[in-house]
Chain A
Amino acid sequence: MVKTVPEAENPQIPAEPPAAPAAVSVPTPTVSHPEVVDNAIERPVFETRDLAVRYAGKPAVLGVSLKVPEKEITAFIGPSGCGKSTILRCLDRMNDLIPSATVEGTVLYHGHDLYGPGVDPVQVRKRIGMVFQKPNPFPKSIYENIAFGPRVLGLKGNMDEMVETALRRASLWDDVKDRLKDNAFGMSGGQQQRLCIARALATDPDVLLMDEPCSALDPISTGRIEDLMHELKNSVSIVIVTHNMQQAARVSDRTAFFIVDLDGGEDRRIGRLVEYGPTGRIFTNPHDTRTEEYVTGKFG
């Protein structure tokens, strides 16, 4: 039998719905708007300078400069296709997995260039945890899911304790302590997502990146995850991408607003950072009219 392999587009590209057609056309993108770079943050976990990502040469998101503070929750919001997830994936070098993606500009992690020579993306991901849109537990027991991270990192110590600590931090311990050997696929969607958070916490990262972590969950599960984020921010810095403005308003300390710039026509959508600042100000007193239109629900 002869079989051809479908010319698979790269499976790692996050399944992003097509960009919202309603996005307004922007006259002139003002990247260097004074409010965009929030210089008030003194010891940022991340600092991006003029960050841009291209897929096969085509720009997806351009000119993103911002500082992510320590031990706070930073939200990236904006319409579909604005590049917020793409930027998030730059922060732990997950874009490296997409062969056609090129990253330009600078990402500093505690002042060190994340894309500098000699930096191993694997080492980067050990310190920076990530939670994805859809819960993606491994098809193994709950225990093995948590233990995976510490094992691949070669962490020494009592594995049972590590598993328990991680599950407690994700407030999942009481739900699952009696069925640690059960397959993770038997859990509810919300529990699966908290398991994925626990899994990320097991290696004790100092940042947690969350890519629309509640988009596949019901409101009650979403509420539990939001509560969890509030508890966690004492110990880790969190960056969350969300399409849900209310969620950003509820959980985040700072908000970055991205937009799809249709300058180059329909097939050349470019994501840009419009405004970044304390969440309260972004939602009550946005400096940019486009932010105002978005947060008041005029488009998006």
Chain B
Amino acid sequence: MAFDPLLHRASAPEEDVIAGLGSRGAGSLLRDRAFILCLILLTSVGLVVLGVLLVTTGSDGIPQINADFINNFPSAFPERAGIQSAIWGTLWLMGVVAVVIIPLGVATALYLEEYADRSKWWNRAIEVNIQNLAAVPSIVYGILGLAYIVRGPLSLGRTVIAGGLTLALVVLPVVIITSREAIRAVPPSIKEGALALGATHWQAIWRQILPSSIPGIATGVILSLSRAIGETAPLILVGAATFVAFNPTGLDSPFTALPLQIFSWVSQPNSDFQAKAAAAIVVLLLILVLLNAVAIWLRSRFQRRW
């Protein structure tokens, strides 16, 4: 604690105390100032790095972006290389991810929030398991995808569906956790009110709890999608090719994706390709900003303060 000698003196003359209230001593004040300054510096480092990253990438990449870049397919020549197949691949992947994680994530969240009896060990096990899954490195999901989805039991090959399923597994815990929060935010009085009117538990959920929590769930889904969109490591293992000069034609089609295309160009020694990587990063970041803007809009427009 503060150890102000003035206050701890056995019998402080009154003038001293009053004088002491005015100034705590220059040293102490200086230390306080230095401490705040230090905190501000520490806080700003992360923000500055983000700023530098955006500026350098933008200045490298933005001049590269034009209609050709968006419309062209990958090429061995940097001046002809484009991201059309990568954009379509990413869109296909996101479709698969959304179709998998929305029902699975919301159903799991509903079970855990509305039905699971926490005194049963298996329900607690499911909860702990989801927490752990959320922290498993994404590349481990890639190994799972390689062994069981691309090859092994499912043997789907290096296709859109295999890549989408793998990414869905990566972000599923996030959807579950955010959906649970959204469901928990609906006050219990709403559920009580529905049940008191003779609704069954499921009617109360389906007609009152779920509609009230949709904005929160949607926000979580969008944030999960924006995480999935930037995931690269699992896709490397699932074996998406980077040189795909055509758009996916279906779920069983080979594909590439934006982050993979970026990785492939970054790995090229030719610095023209690195500029292409910067351009693709700008496109990827724009998509992410757009998704997040939608999430923020949803949150502010529909989120209810109970």
Direct A/B contact, Cβ within 8 angstroms: yes
Q: Which residues of A contact B (CB under 8 A)?
A: 1-5, 7-8, 11-12, 92, 94, 97, 99, 122-123, 125-127, 129-130, 132, 134, 136-139, 148-149, 151-153, 196, 199-200, 203
Q: Give chain B's interface residue range (CB within 8 Å of chain A).
A: 20 to 34
Given contacts A99-B117, A132-B192, is CB(A203)–CB(B208) below 8 Å? no
CB distance B212 to A139 under 8 Å?
A: yes
Does B194 count as interface, using CB distance less than 8 angstroms? yes
Q: Is B177 an interface residue (CB 8 A)?
A: yes
Q: Are A136 and B198 in contact (CB under 8 A)?
A: no
Interface: B190 (CB within 8 A): yes
Contact B200 A199, beta carbon cutoff 8 Å = no
Interface pair A2/B195, CB less than 8 Å apart: no
Stretch of B8-16, B86-94, B127-135 with 4 or more beta carbons under 8 angstroms from chain A: B127-135
Knowing A97-B195, A148-B197 are in contact, say whether A4-B190 is a contact too (CB < 8 A): no
Report which of B112, B189, B199, B203 forms a contact with A136, defined as CB distance below 8 A. B189
Residue contact A2 to B131, C-beta cutoff 8 Å = yes
Can you list 21 residue pairs at the A/B interface with Cβ under 8 Å? A1-B135, A1-B177, A2-B131, A2-B135, A3-B131, A3-B134, A99-B119, A122-B199, A125-B198, A127-B198, A132-B193, A136-B190, A136-B193, A137-B193, A138-B208, A139-B212, A149-B198, A152-B198, A199-B193, A199-B197, A200-B197
Given A134-B189, A138-B208, A148-B194, CB of A4 within 8 Å of CB of B131: yes
Q: Is the CB of B198 within 8 A of A153?
A: yes
Contact A126 B189 (CB under 8 A): no
Q: Tell me whether B192 and A12 are in contact (CB under 8 A).
A: yes
Measured CA separation A137–B194 after assembly (Å):
10
Say yes or no for B24: interface residue by CB 8 A criterion: no
In the complex, whether B80 has a CB less than 8 A from a CB of chain A is no
Nearest CB to that of A183 among chain B residues?
A: B304
B207:A152 contact, CB within 8 angstroms: yes
User: What 0/1 pattern do residues 169 to 213 of B give for CB contact below 8 A with A?
Assistant: 000001001001000100111111111111110010001100010
The CA of A132 and the CA of B207, in the complex, are separated in Å by 20
Q: How far is the CA of A200 from the CA of B192 in the complex (A)?
A: 12
Please measure, in the bound complex, the distance between the C-alpha atom of A194 and the C-alpha atom of B207, giving whole angstroms.
22
A31 CB to nearest chain B CB (Å): 29
Chain B, residues 101-137, CB within 8 Å of chain A (1/0): the string is 0000000000010000111000000010001101100
Chain A residue, CB-CB nearest to B124: A5
Given A12-B192, A136-B190, 17 more pairs with CB closer than 8 A: A1-B174, A2-B134, A3-B177, A92-B196, A122-B195, A122-B200, A125-B195, A125-B196, A126-B198, A129-B196, A136-B187, A136-B192, A139-B304, A148-B207, A149-B198, A200-B196, A203-B197
In the complex, what residues of A have CB within 8 A of residue B180's CB? 5
| Residues in chain B within 8 A of chain A (CB atoms) | 112, 117-119, 127, 131-132, 134-135, 174, 177, 180, 184, 187-200, 203, 207-208, 212, 304
- Most B Cβ at <10 Å: residue of A152, A200, A203: A152
Cα-based distance from A169 to B212 in the complex (angstroms): 28
A-B contacts counted at CB < 8 A amount to 87
B189 touches A132 (CB 8 A): yes
Residues in A whose Cβ lies below 8 Å from that of B198? 122-123, 125-127, 149, 152-153, 203
Residues of A within 8 A of B189 (CB): 132, 134, 136
- Please, how many angstroms separate the alpha-carbon atoms of A138 and B204 in the complex? 11
Query: Which of A5, A138, A153 has a CB less than 8 Å from the CB of B193?
Result: A138
Contact of A152 among B112, B132, B177, B200 (CB under 8 A): B200
Closest 8 CB pairs of A and B: A126-B198, A136-B189, A130-B196, A11-B188, A149-B197, A152-B199, A136-B193, A125-B198
Task: Point out the residues of chain B lying under 8 angstroms from A196, CB to CB.
Answer: 193
Bound CA–CA A132/B194 (angstroms): 12
A227, B197: Cα distance in complex, Å: 23
| Chain A residues within an 8 Å CB radius of B193 | 132, 136-138, 196, 199
B83 CB to nearest chain A CB (Å): 30
Residues of chain B within 8 A of A126, CB atoms compared = 197-198
Instruction: Give the chain A neighbours of B200 by CB distance below 8 A.
Output: 122, 152
Chain B residue with the shortest CB-CB distance to A135: B189
Contact B203–A138 (Cβ < 8 Å) = no
User: Which A residues touch B117, using CB under 8 A?
Assistant: 99
Minimum CB–CB distance from A112 to chain B (whole Å) comes to 17
CA distance A138 to B196 in the complex (A): 13
Residue pair A152, B197 in contact (C-beta under 8 Å)? yes
Q: Contacts of A125 on B, CB cut-off 8 Å? A: 195-198
Alpha-carbon separation in the docked complex, A7 to B123 (Å): 13
Chain A residues with CB below 8 A from B134, complex form = 1-3
Q: Which residue of B lies closest to A126 (CB)?
A: B198
Central interface residue in B190, B193, B199, by most chain A CB within 10 Å = B193
Task: List residues of chain A with CB within 8 A of the CB of B132.
Answer: 2
A130 to B190, alpha carbons, bound, how many Å?
A: 13
Q: Which of B127, B187, B196 has the most CB of A within 10 A?
A: B196
Output the least CB separation between A85 and chain B (Å). Answer: 12
A129 proximity list for chain B (CB < 8 A): 196-197
**Bound-complex Cα distance A221 to B290 (A):** 48
Interface centre among A122, A129, A199 (most CB of B within 10 A): A122
* Chain A: minimal CB distance from B35 (Å): 29
Pick from A11, A94, A139, A151: contact of B196, CB under 8 Å: A94
